Amino acid sequence: MEVNHFIFALISLSCLFSVSANVPPPVSNASSPASLELYDMIEVMSESPSPFAFDGTTLESIDDLLSILPSGVDPALQQICGNTDHPVECIIATMPFLDGNAPIEPLSVLKAGIKAMDNQTKDALAEVTRLSMDPTTPKTIVPILQTCIDVYNNILNSDQKSLEAISNHSLVQLSTELGANVENVLGCDNAFKQAKLESPMKDMDAMLANIISNTLTIGVDMVHF
């Protein structure tokens, strides 16, 4: 398939760089090694001071990377995601959740983004629950993990309310719920920072924060009922 061929080609290209990157993992439905390498590629592009070439094309920005995505990625999706703060993450997160029978427009991409957010949050919730029940986890950490559990449940609750807002054509409620998640996603990491500890959920939270940011942009700036 053309998209997979493109992404696997990026693997060999990324091996040319020695930059060490702490890259947030992709959403679980796109958690293949190839997808992770695409994140490595993005990180290298953000840190490298010099442009580099891929398949004869000089890549100087994320926009340049978007411009050479193969035809397997719908141009409408590229355009919508290109107007978010995290365009490549937007494409990777939403593609598995798009309804193949529905036109690609801001509303359908927003729904896919909310589903991706929900999926990523459930994975984070499962992981933090596992850590809280692990007998080797220090007892002083368990209350912080419980805070994270509450955070993720709040996000899941807001996701459902966001979908209800879409069904009710309520832009006010939609903006409120999507905006609430921008604050919600910071809760787990902030709890660990207050304890002067590094959060074991930071990578999953970073990807989740990108998805939330993108859904807010699409929901507030692009969706019109």
Alpha carbon distance 67, 221 (integer Å): 22
Instruction: Determine the length of the chain.
Output: 225
| pLDDT reading at 60 higher than 70 | no
pLDDT at 41: 52
Instruction: For CA atoms 179, 199, 138, 126, give the dihedral sign.
Output: positive
Alpha carbon distance 39, 11 (integer Å): 10
Of 20-29, 131-140, 175-184, the poorest mean pLDDT is in 20-29
State the pLDDT confidence band at 109, using cuts at 50, 70 and 90: very high
CATH of domain 72-222: 1.20.140.40
| pLDDT reading at 71 higher than 80 | no
Alpha carbon distance 10, 58 (integer Å): 14
Greatest pairwise CA separation for the chain in angstroms: 55
Alpha carbon distance 77, 79 (integer Å): 5
Contact 214, 82 (CB under 8 A): no
Alpha carbon distance 109, 30 (integer Å): 16
| pLDDT reading at 213 higher than 60 | yes
**DSSP letter assigned to residue 16:** T
pLDDT at 22: 37
161-175 average pLDDT score: 96
Where is pLDDT greater, at 130 or 18? 130
| pLDDT reading at 189 higher than 50 | yes
Read off the amino acid at residue 73.
Answer: V
| DSSP helix/strand/coil, 26 | coil
